[in-house]
Amino acid sequence: TVSFWDTQTLTVNSDMVVLAIPTQALREVLQKIQFLKQDVVVINTSKGIEKVSHKLPFQIVQELLPETISYGSLIGPSFAQEVIADMPTLVNIGIDKRVDRASLEVFQTPVFHTRIVSGFEALELAGAFKNIYAIACGMADGLGFGMNTRIQLMMLAMDEFYDLCRVLGYTVSKDAMPGTIGDLLLSCSSTESRNYTLGKLLIEYSVEECLVRINSTVEGIETVQSVPYFTTISKLPLAQFVQESLRPNGTDVKTLFKAFITSSM
């Protein structure tokens, strides 16, 4: 039995709660909910970083919800329209030790495959930063660069991600590849990605005009605002380049990108 939360509902009496809302709305929603069961399983599907606090979803949940909850994050390369069309898909569910793995069978179907791993920190970090890197790959496409350049950007993105995980103490296991590297490859390789499309449009239009043309949520716009915070933890030249490109100061994106691509590799 599945119930949907709405703005009038203040109490939840479910065994499992799935968070499928924008990260920027997560705090507001969680502050309104009262859980009637203390041992509820909370599964997050939100990708992003809260702008003011620079916190990932799991950190917001840890701050606001009881310690008795069990937590996991479902993250992986999964364009929604392809999932709806029953195209085979592989994602990760990263969990803490308290989650009963048998309860996660509700997410498994003959075509939607879930690989369960211990830990969710690296998955959520990857789910946020891959949107930033997809913008850079879209820029490369918009400027007429080919696959060689795109792969070069993705390799730099992977280096940045692994370095940041190491500094933060987040473990990236081989079994977590779908939700880390797989999600990055998907978002950086297809116009189905709104962040990739934003980067491509940025070559010709302002940020505001790009968002009007896309007419949908572009997660990287919000996430990129936390880049200056994370650069105090680890060097992030590619993420920092994207953040500079999105500043509303009339920056010539074409010149900026060409200078970056020739000097930083």
Q: Just list the catalytic residues.
A: 130
Q: Which secondary-structure segment (H or E) carries 74?
A: strand 70-75
Q: Which secondary-structure segment (H or E) carries 41?
A: strand 41-44
Residues forming beta bridges with residue 94, ordered by sequence position: 73, 117
Query: Which CA distances in Å does 18 have to 3, 90, 144, 245?
Result: 10, 18, 40, 34
Report the interhelical angle of 253-263 vs 121-142 (nearest 10°): 110
Check: CB of residue 207 under 8 Å from CB of residue 248: yes
Cα dihedral 126, 129, 135, 136 in deg (nearest 10): -90
Check: CB of residue 115 under 8 Å from CB of residue 178: yes
Cα–Cα dist 120/60, whole Å? 13
204 class by beta-carbon count within 10 Å (0-12 exposed, 13-18 middle, 19+ buried): exposed
